[in-house]
Structure formats: C-alpha cells, structure tokens
Structure 1
Amino acid sequence: MNVRYRVDLQFFSQEKTEKATPQKRLESRKKGQVARSAEIPGALIMLGVFLLLTFVGGYMLEGFLSMLRNSLSQYPGWEVTPQNVDRMFKENTLEAVKIAAPVMLVALVMGVLGNYVQFGFLFATDPLKMKLEKINPLKGAKRIFSVRAVVELLKSILKIVLISAVTFGLLWTKREEVLLLSQKSIGQSLQFIGTLTVQIGLAVAVLLLFLAVLDYVYQKYDFEKNIRMSKQDIKDEMKKTEGDPLIKSKIKEKQRELGLNRMISEIPHADVVVTNPTHFAVALKYDDQTMEAPTVTAKGADFVALKLKEAAKEHNIITMENKPLARALYSQVEIGQAVPEELFKAVAEVLAYVYSIKGYPGGGN
C-alpha cells in the first residue's frame, strides 16, 4: 500500500500542472520558443499594401503605363546593340523599382511590426540548428496526425470559407456594375476593376487580421500549455539556480566555522571579553598608539558566545559580565568597528578595571 502511495505521488509530481517560471520562460525565449501567430504578419502586410494602393495606386498605375508607353513607342525604333539593350534594361529596372519600392517597403515594415507586437525583438539561432529529430519520419507522422494539425486544417478551411463569403458579398453588391463593364471604355473598366480589387483586398485584410488575433489567443494558450512545468521541474530548477539546499547548508555551516575560527583567533589579542553572561560575548581591544577608540574584534551569541568565552579562559583573557553593555555592543557595533561615542564611558570603566588588574595604565597586551 505504501509503495503504491509513493508511486502515485511520484506520478502526480511529474504532471505538467504548474505555470512556467520566469527562468523557464527566459530559456524558452532564448531558444526562439515564443507565443506567435504566423497569421498576424501576413494580415498586416496585406492590410498595409492595400491601404497603400488606396492612396498611391494612381501614381503607381501612371508609372506602369508610362513604362509601358516607352517600351512600345521608343524602344522599337532603337538599333539592337549591346549598349542599347543594356540601357533599356537599366531604365526599365529603375522604373520597376520606383513602382514596386513603396509596396516592398510597406510589406517589410508590416512584417517586422507583425512579429514585434507579439514578442518584441528576438534573435535566436537555435531554430536554425540542424536536428535529426526534424527529419525523423515517426515524429513527422506524429505531427501530421496531431491535434495541432487538425486545428490548423480547420483554421485553413474557415479562412477559405470566410474569404470566399466576403469576396462573393462584395461582388454581389457590385453585380450590376460588373455586368455593365462591356459597355464601358477600357480605361473606365480598368479603373472600376482596380477600385473593386482594392476594396475586396481591404475587406479580406481586415477579416484576416481579426482571425489572426483569434489565432494569437489560441497560440498563446497552446504555448502556455506546452511550457507548463511539473512540481519536480520547479524543484529541480530551484536547485539549479539557487543550489542544492543540502550543499547550501553545508556551505553556510563551513562559513560559520571559518568565521568562528577567525574570531577565536582574535581572542588572544583582546583586552577583555564583555558577556551577558550566557547569551552574548563581545571582545574589545584598545591600543592608544594605533587606535582612536576601543574596537570590537569578535562577537557572538549563544553557541558562538560560549566558544569565545572558552577561548578567553584558555588564553587568560579577562571575562567581565556587563549585561547592558554586552547587549549594546552586540547589536550596535560590527566586528572591526570602533565603539560609538555613547558607549565610551561604559567601555572606559571596563578597560580601567581590566588595566588595574593587569597592573598597567595603557591599552594592549
């Protein structure tokens, strides 16, 4: 029964039920693992491009027609030589760049913006590393038939249906004008088709942006689910970042031993050890040649105080009981610091008593 209980506890401790810690999130981000919807950059690019066409579409059309007129009227009269071909190629390329540059620039800005609004600036090389598991057919099949693949399929079907509905709706509202295109001039027809195309593009872009926001919410949920941690994971992370508690306790114990040994080594040089008598012990030293005021060379409470008193007894250092002074020195003065002015009188009385016993008026041993 106890074995089964332990197995159950171990099983539940491995379940991914806890939210990811900041350290886990940081590690995932360094690997390029963030909540991201690929739909948002695409929707923003489409929206930006069609908005651009709304405002500068006439300029771009005029540039294209100008390039076309030059190609049909000017170039046929040129002699076919390497120089003329090179010039024709350069001129057409320059005109094409002028026409396409605004579109490319807007697409670039919107693409970067679409990623930045999701996870900020991120440069990670881990996704570019060659990993054999990426070409593992078993894992590939698992990805194809996973829940995520089904969700992506349903998303694609939904997008197709909604885009078709929006496009058909706009065409249906303009059906009478579409049917009359045959009675219009080529210029009027092209203008109408261009305007209708931009309208459909804007409507579809807004729809895709709405769907992209919903997709980002789902991607955020899926990401949070995937980076969940078990209670054991959190314990292991704490051990990794803060150190094993057992090792930390041993380090602290060793530090206490070193500190105690260092203080005990100062006892033979002290003039007196002031005690509480059981809870506190403070060692004082004064040398009128090198010190402006008496200095605390060691102090401790309880077990440390006991060790200091034992060391004082071993080295024949006078131990003097003074509860108020011992408590005040312990709480107000750190090791290596001089006694504060408000305690001068009490400390002076203690040192005077010690010096009288030792038979000399100055400080020091």
Structure 2
Amino acid sequence: MAEDSGQERTEEPTSKKIEEARKKGQIARSKELGTTFVLIFSAIALLLYGPALGQGLYNIMGRALTLNRNETYDTTKMFSVWDMAFAELLFPFSMFVLIIALAGVVGNTLLGGFNFSWQAAAPKASKMSPMKGLKRMLGPQAAVELIKSILKFILVAGAAIFLINTFFYEILHLSIEAVPGSIIHSLEILAWMFLGLSCTLIIISAIDAPYQSYNHHKQLKMTLQEVKDEYKNSEGDPQIKARIRRTQREMSQRRMMQDVPDADVVVTNPTHYSVALKYDTDKAGAPMVIAKGVDELAMQIRKVAIGNEVPIVESPLLTRSLYHTTEVGEQIPDQLFTAVAQVLAYVFQLKRFNKGRGRKPTSLNKDLSIPDHLKH
C-alpha cells in the first residue's frame, strides 16, 4: 500500500500492526544466531559426552569383533550385541541430542520470542513466482546475505588454519597412541577444533541479530495514511462516531423532556440555564435533578414546564450551581439542601394557596445562600 501511494513509511508501527505481523509469522529472526547456538553447544556436548561415546563405541566394536567359534556359527548371536550397544550409548547419546535440541530452541527464539503461525506455514503462490524470486535474489537482503557468506568464509577459513597449526603436533601424535586412548583423544581434539570454529560465528551473529531486529522494525513501519486508516477501523469513523453521539444525546434529551411534567419545580437563571427538580416524599430521599439544560434546551424545559403547569422559580446562583454540580438522575449535593428546601417550601405553599388551602407565601429571595465552592 505504501509503495502504491508513494508515501514513505515514517510512522512507528502500532501495537495492532505488530500483533497482526506476529499472527502472520512476521517476527525478527536471525538464522545466524540460531546456527551459532546449535554449533557451539554441539561442540560443548561433544566435549562433555564425547569421551563416553568414544569409550562406548570402542567397547561395542571390541565385543563385535571378538566372537568365539560357537558364536561365529550362531546366526542369532549378532542380535545379542544390541543390548550391549543400547546400554553403552543410551545415556551419552541422549544427553548429546538433548543439549543440541535445547540450543536449537533457545537460539531460534532468543530474538523475537517463541511464535507459531499457521499463516506462515501455509503455502503461498508469491513464493513460487519466478519474478518475485528474482527480485529477492537481486534485492538488498540478498546483498546482505552475500556479504555475510563471504565474511563467514573468511572467518572460518582463518580460524581453521589457526586451529590446524595449533593442534598439528597433537594430531600427528595420535598415530602412536594406544587404543582406546587415541580414540578419546581424537574426539577431544575434534571437539575443541569444532568449538573454535563455531565461536567465530559469534562475530557474525553479533552483527546479524541487531540488523535483523532493525530491518524487521523498518518493514513494520507505517505510512501516515495507514495509521489513519487503522484508527478509523479500530476506533470508528469520527463522523459516524459524532453522529452516534448526537443521536444518543438527542434520545437522552427526549427522555429527559418526558420527565419535566413530573417535576415539582423548575429553577432558572432566568434565560440561560434551567434545572427541573423532583422531591419524592415517599422515598424520603434528597431532591433529584430530573432535567437540565442551557440556552435552547433550557428554553424547551421552560416551555414544557409552562405547558404542564410546573412552577418556575428564578434563582440564578442556585440554578448555575445545580447545573454544574449535579447530573440528571442524581440527588442534589448536601450543601444545597437548605437553598433547595426554601424553593420547595415556597412552591408547596404556593400550590396550597392556589387551591385555596392556605395564605399566599411571601416572595422568594432570588439570591439564595450558596456555598462559595459551589458557585459558578
């Protein structure tokens, strides 16, 4: 996509991009690191268990080549040697193989961690394309591999010459050593030379592992458009999200306006803010805010209140304080109990007066006492 659009990959890969790459089997891997681990630990295993393997092979060959006359004519006697061979070689050979297997797992998962992907294992037509294969052969990765191969050849050849010169007289001395000492000694020389040659690959691995990590990170980098597209896919189109929020807000406002006729009073600013309050005496709780709004919505609340004969009381300080401190469906703060109680008392007295059951209440003070930290 980046190549088609002409955009450069300048953005860091997102966590989603990295996770998708892991699912496809695209992780940082260094074949040189894995090979180095296997070879070095193979040499160590040979140093540890080579003598036991050599002694076991010597014992097996000695038993197989020293048959008496009866054993020579017994066609089944050959199979009896198998038990001996199994007993002699089982432990050292098993440990040898186990060390190599562990080294293979550790070496190949040290960079990038353990990861298994069916998508990576599945056959791909692109891998069988001659043109893409030619492109890979002539690409920068192929050039890096060529440089590594040349460097490995130089290092291994130089180390081989040095080791041969170092062990030259010991190798010549093997011809006059007694058996089985010469067998065990030859295995030790072989193991040390093998270890020396394998250690030269540490230099290649020290260069290749950081490069593979850098190259993998570079391949995962994204264009600015890819980052935007991923954000849209994961978080949703901003325009659609805004439309959803607007619809949810309109639905919430409609539900809120349906509760206004049940309010005991609507306090106003008087023009910019409106808050509808309801006090349910049966629940013996605090008064609740059942609707609130500003500007156009405040005007709609007042219209609904007038149409349903809900008392409207002007109290600028109290209205702004209720609007900013209390959400719809919540009880009013404790610090506003006194001010709201005065408003409700005035409203209830006014209702009784209108029904001819009491005297007309005195006018309510618009500037009710509001704590300083609740003023807005």
TM-score, reference length from structure 2: 0.84
Which of the two has higher C-alpha Rg?
2
Which string of whole-angstrom CA distances, capped at 9 and with x for unpartnered residues, describes residues 3-33 of structure 1?
A: xxxxxxx966x22222212221111111110
Separation in 1, partners of 2:222, 2:341: 62
2:279, 2:286 within 8 Å by CA — same for their partners in 1? yes
Deviation at 1:75, TM superposition (A): 9.4
In structure 1, what is the equivalent of residue 116 of structure 2? Answer: 123
Structure 2: which 5+ residue stretches go unaligned? Answer: 358-376
In structure 1, what is the equivalent of residue 221 of structure 2? Answer: 228
Q: 1:74 to 1:342 in 2, by over 3 A?
A: farther
Separation in 1, partners of 2:259, 2:245: 21
Q: Does 1:24 align with 2:23?
A: no
Q: 1:67 to 1:188 in 2, by over 3 A?
A: closer
Give, as a single letter, the amino acid of the residue that structure 2 aligns with 1:140.
G
Q: Does 1:46 align with 2:39?
A: yes
Deviation at 1:138, TM superposition (A): 1.7
1:75, 1:88 within 8 Å by CA — same for their partners in 2? no
Q: 1:45 to 1:349 in 2, by over 3 A?
A: same
In structure 2, what is the equivalent of residue 354 of structure 1? Answer: 347
Separation in 2, partners of 1:161, 1:225: 29
Give, as a single letter, the amino acid of the residue that structure 2 aligns with 1:20.
P
In structure 2, what is the equivalent of residue 308 of structure 1? Answer: 301
In structure 2, what is the equivalent of residue 165 of structure 1? Answer: 158
Structure 1: which 5+ residue stretches go unaligned? Answer: 1-9
The CA RMSD over aligned residues, in Å, is 2.5
Within a 5 Å distance, the mapping from 1:125-274 to structure 2 comes to 125-187=118-180, 189-274=182-267
Separation in 1, partners of 2:342, 2:191: 97
Separation in 2, partners of 1:54, 1:218: 32
Bigger mean CA offset, 214-223 vs 86-95: 86-95
Separation in 1, partners of 2:273, 2:61: 99
Q: Does 1:98 align with 2:127?
A: no
TM-score, reference length from structure 1: 0.86
Q: 1:330 to 1:69 in 2, by over 3 A?
A: farther
Separation in 2, partners of 1:113, 1:168: 30
Which string of whole-angstrom CA distances, capped at 9 and with x for unpartnered residues, describes residues 173-231 of structure 1?
A: 23343444444445454344322222222222222133112111111121122112111
Which string of whole-angstrom CA distances, capped at 9 and with x for unpartnered residues, describes residues 326-345 of structure 1?
A: 23322332322222332211
In structure 2, what is the equivalent of residue 71 of structure 1? Answer: 64
Separation in 2, partners of 1:44, 1:56: 18
In structure 1, what is the equivalent of residue 319 of structure 2? Answer: 326
Deviation at 1:89, TM superposition (A): 4.3
1:283, 1:297 within 8 Å by CA — same for their partners in 2? yes
Give, as a single letter, the amino acid of the residue that structure 2 aligns with 1:301.
V
Work out which of the residue numbers 75, 86, 98 in structure 2 matches 1:80: 75
How many residues in Structure 1 have an aligned counterpart in Structure 2?
A: 349
